[in-house]
Structures are given as C-alpha cells and as structure tokens.
C-alpha cells in the first residue's frame, strides 16, 4: 500500500523511513505539520507485526501531536517517530544512536522525546547524535521524564469532568484505569490520594500487584476492564481501545485518560455521546507531557510556565465540554475543529 492510500494520511508534510542494518534500526518519522513551529512528539519502541502497521501508527500519532500541541497553546507542530523493535537480543545503545542520526537527518523539523518503551537514558544516547531531543535528565534545561506531568494533566481533567458531569469530587469515585506504565501508575497515585476507589488492569502482572498493594486497587484482566461498573474510565495504554466491541461493554459516565488515539474511528465519539458517556478528547487531556517538553525545547525550562499551560489545558477542556453541552455536538468533533483551525486547516 502506498502511503498516500493509507486512510490515516492527512496531508502530512513529510514522512521519513530509516534503516540501519548494523544496529537493527527500522524507524519511521512522520512530520504532520510545522505551521506553529518545528514538529515535536515522542519516539515509540514497539513490536509491530508489519511495516504497514508501524506506518499507520506513526501517521495517526503525528496527526494527534499536531492537535495536541495546538490545543496546549504551544509554538510546536506535530510529529512522531516509531521504532520497530528488533527481534531477539539487540544492542540498545547502538539502536538509539542510529535513531539519533535519523532524527538529525530530518534537519530540525522534528524534535523527539520519550514515549512508550523509551526512557530518558535512551534520549541521552540520542542526544549524543543530535540536538533535536528533549526529555533529558541532564543539561541546563533538562526536565527529565515528562510522564509525571502528563499524569498531572490527566488528573486535573478527570477532576474537571467529574465536577461538570457528576457534580462531585473524586472522593469515593470508582475509577477504572487501563495501563499502569509511567503515566498510568502515577495517575493512580494521584487518584488514590484524592480518595478514589481504583480498579486496574495491565498485561504486566507485577505492576498490577504493586497497585493492589499500594493503593488497595481492585484488579481485573485487561479484557475485563471495559465491563466493570465504574464512574470514570481512564484508558492509559495503547490506542483504539474505544471501538464498537468495547463501547458496548462500558458502564461508566466519563472517559478521560492518557492513551493516544483512543477512538478507533471518527464515529466512536458519536456512539459514546448516544450512550450518555462524556468523552474527554485524548489529545487535550494528555497534553501535560508535551508542555513539559516544550519548555525544554525553548531552552528556558520554567515550572511556573508549565503550571500556567496546565491550567490552560483545564480551560480548553472546560470550553469544549461547555460547548458540547450547549450545542449537543460530540466533544471529539468540537475539539477537532478547534485544533484544525489553530493549525490553519479548518
């Protein structure tokens, strides 16, 4: 299939494929838009069944980053990278050094950082090959792993949605969390401190046991998380978990989580609305991490600036929810229109 026939191709400005046989690197970097500034978005290390699957993922993710950065009020465009995890054992340092050279080859149109399967230490290796990297643990403007800031933004949006939809705080609220990675686990910590009752699922059983021990969380299998009775569902794993099969199982009032591209198709937002479920658009809710990264890219990282942008996320989500309530339109359509207008594609 040609990239132009891929249903997720959205007039991306450029798409770059890289291979380095010595390290085993097979990577794709997609630049969706640079209207607001250089594109920025994390790099994902994942086991893909095919290069076509990897291409679909990077196209969807990079478009989402354009929307995310625009809605967060950042001077950044949208880009993303996916690295196809080599089979068997591989030299991680060599792999990320090769990836750093790939980022450098894009010539400053794309800034990378951590995403699923990638750590600040990996970014340190990348930094040795290119300056177009953030999410570092060292350096004058280093801010480290952006995951806690992502979790902070998600937590704020969950509180806001609970107040608007249910008129209550999070104390005693039943919240199901899918995915206990860096963001999901930190989100659980914040929700537990707010008095919420947690129901969690993850393919990593050790993380599930840890959440059960520390937060008193109820645990279910990954396949059963959709059917649990809860007030709020927080998807924090991979995308497309909101699809015709899972939506029919949901017994929640609100969806707000950190995963990217949660809706499998554009029709899913309308389906959720018809079921009376308030969907908080993912690229608004999970914008905290890229806000943190943006401060680092500009070279003058300041926590007060980050805090102001996080408050801006809350305001943006509030405006979307209010407009949806007033007009009867689905929240995802309203958010998409706002984002497209900001990047000049409205």
Instruction: Specify the domain boundaries for CATH 3.40.50.720 within the chain.
Output: 147-287+314-342
* Contact call for residues 95 and 24 (beta carbons, < 8 A): yes
* Contact call for residues 59 and 8 (beta carbons, < 8 A): yes
- pLDDT at residue 296, as a whole number: 84
Let me know if 225 is exposed, middle or buried by CB neighbors in 10 A (0-12, 13-18, 19+). Answer: buried
Percentages (nearest 5) of helix, strand, coil residues in the chain: 45, 15, 40
66, two tokens: 């354009």
Q: Cβ–Cβ contacts within 10 Å for residue 200, how many?
A: 26
DSSP state of 174: E
Span 12-66, pLDDT tens digits: 999 999 999 999 999 999 999 999 999 999 999 999 999 999 999 999 999 999 9
Span 154-165, pLDDT tens digits: 999 999 999 999
pLDDT bucket at 297, cuts 50 / 70 / 90 = confident
Nearest by Cα to 28 from 8, 39, 10, 14: 14
* Contact call for residues 173 and 162 (beta carbons, < 8 A): yes
Nearest by Cα to 58 from 34, 29, 85: 29
- pLDDT at residue 140, as a whole number: 62
CB-based contacts of 205, cutoff 8 Å, min separation 6: none
CB-based contacts of 343, cutoff 8 Å, min separation 6: 33, 35, 36, 66, 67, 70, 77, 78
Is CATH 3.40.50.720 the right assignment for the domain spanning 147-287+314-342? yes
Average pLDDT over residues 220-245: 95
| Residue labelled with tokens 């909101």 | 242
Instruction: Specify the domain boundaries for CATH 3.40.50.10860 within the chain.
Output: 3-67+79-127
Beta strands in 164-292 (DSSP E): 174-178, 197-201, 218-219, 232-235, 254-255, 278-279
Residue 9 reports pLDDT greater than 70: yes
- In three-state form (DSSP H/G/I as H, E/B as E, the rest C), the secondary structure along 51-117 is HHHHHHHHHHHHHHHHHHHHHCCCCCEEEEEEEECCCCCCCHHHHHHHHHHHHHHCCCCEEECECCC
Better-predicted residue by pLDDT, 140 or 166: 166
Let me know if 295 is exposed, middle or buried by CB neighbors in 10 A (0-12, 13-18, 19+). Answer: buried
Let me know if 42 is exposed, middle or buried by CB neighbors in 10 A (0-12, 13-18, 19+). Answer: buried
Catalytic residue check, 68: no
- pLDDT at residue 142, as a whole number: 66
Average pLDDT over residues 71-91: 96
Q: What is the CATH number of domain 3-67+79-127?
A: 3.40.50.10860
Q: Which of 80, 159, 165, 309 is catalytic?
A: 80
């Amino acid at each position: 299939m040609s990239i132009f026939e891929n249903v997720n191709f959205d007039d991306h400005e450029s798409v770059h494929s890289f291979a380095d046989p010595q390290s085993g690197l097979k990577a794709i970097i997609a630049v969706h838009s640079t209207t607001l500034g250089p594109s920025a978005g994390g790099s994902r290390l994942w086991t893909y069944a095919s290069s076509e699957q990897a291409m679909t993922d990077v196209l969807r993710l990079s478009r989402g980053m354009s929307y995310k950065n625009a809605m967060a009020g950042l001077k950044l465009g949208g880009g993303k990278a996916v690295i196809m995890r080599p089979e068997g054992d591989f030299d991680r340092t060599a792999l990320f050094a090769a990836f750093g050279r790939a980022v450098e080859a894009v010539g400053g149109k794309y800034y990378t950082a951590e995403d699923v399967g990638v750590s600040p230490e990996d970014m340190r290796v990348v930094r040795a090959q290119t300056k177009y990297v953030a999410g570092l643990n060292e350096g004058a403007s280093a801010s480290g792993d952006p995951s806690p800031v992502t979790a902070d933004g998600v937590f704020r949006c969950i509180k806001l949605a609970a107040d608007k939809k249910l008129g209550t705080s999070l104390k005693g609220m039943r919240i199901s969390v899918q995915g206990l990675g860096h963001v999901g686990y930190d989100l659980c910590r914040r929700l537990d401190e707010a008095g919420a009752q947690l129901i969690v699922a993850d393919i990593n059983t050790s993380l599930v046991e840890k959440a059960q021990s520390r937060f008193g969380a109820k645990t279910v299998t990954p396949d059963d998380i959709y059917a649990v009775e809860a007030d709020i569902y927080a998807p924090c794993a991979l995308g497309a978990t909101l699809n015709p099969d899972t939506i029919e199982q949901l017994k929640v009032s609100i969806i707000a989580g950190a995963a990217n591209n949660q809706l499998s198709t554009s029709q899913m937002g309308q389906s959720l609305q018809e079921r009376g479920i308030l969907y908080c658009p993912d690229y608004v809710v999970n914008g905290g991490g890229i806000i943190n990264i943006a401060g680092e890219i500009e070279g003058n990282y300041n926590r007060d600036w980050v805090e102001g942008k996080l408050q801006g996320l809350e305001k943006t989500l509030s405006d979307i929810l209010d407009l949806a309530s007033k007009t009867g339109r689905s929240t995802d359509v309203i958010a998409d229109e706002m984002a497209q207008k900001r990047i000049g594609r409205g």
